[in-house]
Structure 1
Amino acid sequence: MFSYRHAFHAGNHADVLKHTTLIALMKYLTQKDTALTVIDTHAGAGLYRLDGDYTETSGEAQEGIFRLLSEPKTPAAPAKKAPAGTKTAATGTAKPAAAPGWAPALQDYIDLLRGLNPQFAETGNIAHLKIYPGSPFIEQQFLSGRDKLKLFELHPTDFKSLSGNIEQLGVGRQVAVSREDGFEALKTFLPPPARRAMVFCDPSYEMKSDYGRVATCMADAVKRFATGTYVVWYPIIPRPEAHDLPRKLKTLAVKASRSWLNAALTVKSSKLTTDTSGEVIRPGLPASGMFVINPPHTLKAELQAALPQMVALLGQDRNASFTLEHGG
């Protein structure tokens, strides 16, 4: 079961996929002159220390952002057959190494980390990469004066940290932080005044009811404001609800005649193993996905370039692979 606090997971392989995709979305959506409302239903603390107790206890950043920025790994396993029934789909592993240079979406992700870690930017030494942004700080980085960001977080400690972190930005009323249930609070903000919005939904999924709440929340949101961009992160674990969620979101998008995109990154096998003493070793999080309703037309190509590099550099065994589907 996951720890509710995202501080344990900051900078892991799921964050690499999640935040690379989020940056690509924000970069595109903030290009227009019309105001954009961004709503983050489960905002977390906003900023995390990669050298803090939580992150060092879990060690997940070592298999995520630090692994990405280390020497290239050699991927294994041949490309897998594309899923049937999608308009377009791509799957596979990566050919060895992302040598010529980063895919543009990954470069944007790394550049944002450099901006928050000047010593890392100056030296290139990953030992100097200490500050990691959560989704609120990534979203805020791209806002112009006309845009609004609404953040919701229920956890009392994370809410307090989030409020303090946002206050230090000095952005005034542009960013609003509320200790509310983001699933319910979202309803009051759709449709937005300027008729442009992106919603990012990233709950902990500690309670299996979260899977159903995400699907219900997105169905209601699309009904209220059909042209918004809706973004859902989800874990891929041996639990029926986890595998049902992207299927439900796809069905929702198709029924609403909305375009959709589903990107998934697998870094290792999900099977249980045993150590030399016979004790069961649980694999942790083996894979995760990002489902986007009404994605920008540029997102598919950006992820097609970035996902093979993620597999090459983050893959931990021969099961490492990616899937990229879209339709509508």
Structure 2
Amino acid sequence: MNYRHAYHAGNFADVVKHAVLVALIESLKQKQTAFHVIDTHAGAGRYDLSQAEAQKTGEYREGIGRLLGVERLPTLIHAYLNLVRSQQTQSSGMQVYPGSPQISRLLLRDQDRLTLCELQDEELMELKRLFRTDQRVSVHARDGYDALNALLPPKEKRGLVLIDPPFEAQEDEFRIIEQALSKAQAKWPTGVFAIWYPIKLRAPIQRFHRFLRESGFRKVLNVELLLHPDNSALRLNGCGIAILNAPFKLDRTLAEILPVLAQHLAQGRFSQHQVNWLVED
């Protein structure tokens, strides 16, 4: 696997994914009992946008760079942006972008736990360095899909599994996710699962949505943002997140933030977004 997220850190897809992640964790925090977040494809944890990889693509400029100077935004987007700002060590502009592991860690309470799975050596070393002093965080050098068999259900009985693979082979990745979800459902039917996916061509996504409708999971909420028509396999046209066992009122929260993200992240005249139920309670 050659994918390196450092080239894409902070792009529009990261903004959507991480805003939804903040919404999910804040929903879990509505109850005092502990929860457990499992990130199956963790990446490096955070990224230096001044480095060559991010500078080569410049994708963050059309993502997080679009939002940092905006004042009137929904409360949840401000919360996400404040997490990003909290990582900056220089006063002159943004240099660091937190990945999902760091965002999750920043939102944990003392009683909550975070488990990170990663296979790439460089990213794994960075995760271990970043979280070496935090007893709430465990880092595993293992395949995230395989790890779910050992990690589920967590002892806390509440929590979130974030599945965010690189999708180097898109259709194969959807099938792998479907197999992992089927096994996970048998072990933890009440867990919250969030699956990020890229939008290139619509057909593989339609098949994935059909699986979700027939999976037996309850309250399956789907979120999508399209910046280009979904008719080309040669570019990232948009992204989506399917949320299984979606928390109470999450649909209202996401319906508030998606139009705002679409407005500020649009790259031309074309922009579409939706928040819809694939399976209602």
Match for residue 204 of structure 1? 166
TM-score by length of 1: 0.79
Match for residue 323 of structure 1? 274
Unaligned ranges ≥5, structure 2: none
Match for residue 145 of structure 2? 183
CA-CA distance at 1:3 after TM superposition: 5.8
Match for residue 20 of structure 1? 19
Match for residue 127 of structure 2? 162
Match for residue 209 of structure 2? 246
Separation in 1, partners of 2:66, 2:107? 26
Aligned residues: 278
Unaligned ranges ≥5, structure 1: 72-98, 121-126, 273-281
Separation in 1, partners of 2:220, 2:250? 11
* Closer, same or farther: CA 3–293 of 1 in aligned 2, 3 Å: same
Q: C-alpha offsets along residues 134-190 of structure 1, whole Å, 9 cap, x if unaligned?
A: 1111111121222111100011121112111222xx212x11101100001111111
Secondary structure in 1 matching 2:85: helix
Q: Match for 1:295 among 237, 246, 258?
A: 246
The alignment status of 1:102 with 2:73, answered yes or no, reads: yes
The alignment status of 1:213 with 2:182, answered yes or no, reads: no
CA-CA distance at 1:243 after TM superposition: 4.0
Task: Choose between structure 1 and 2 for higher RCO, CA contacts under 8 A separated by at least 6 residues.
Answer: 1
Match for residue 102 of structure 2? 137
* Closer, same or farther: CA 265–239 of 1 in aligned 2, 3 Å: closer
CA-CA distance at 1:70 after TM superposition: 5.2
Separation in 1, partners of 2:41, 2:148? 11
CA-CA distance at 1:133 after TM superposition: 0.6
The alignment status of 1:149 with 2:114, answered yes or no, reads: yes
TM-score by length of 2: 0.92
Deviates more, 1:263-272 or 1:287-296: 263-272
Match for residue 111 of structure 1? 82
Secondary structure in 1 matching 2:15: helix
Q: C-alpha offsets along residues 195-216 of structure 1, whole Å, 9 cap, x if unaligned?
A: 1121000000113322111111
CA-CA distance at 1:69 after TM superposition: 3.3
Separation in 2, partners of 1:202, 1:151? 12
Tell me if the contact between 1:236 and 1:243 (Cα under 8 Å) persists in the aligned partners. Answer: no
Tell me if the contact between 1:269 and 1:317 (Cα under 8 Å) persists in the aligned partners. Answer: no
Separation in 1, partners of 2:125, 2:205? 30
Tell me if the contact between 1:271 and 1:283 (Cα under 8 Å) persists in the aligned partners. Answer: no
Return the letter of the residue paired with 1:224.
K
Q: C-alpha offsets along residues 204-246 of structure 1, whole Å, 9 cap, x if unaligned?
A: 0113322111111112112211111001000011264344223
Return the letter of the residue paired with 1:192.
P
Match for residue 171 of structure 1? 134
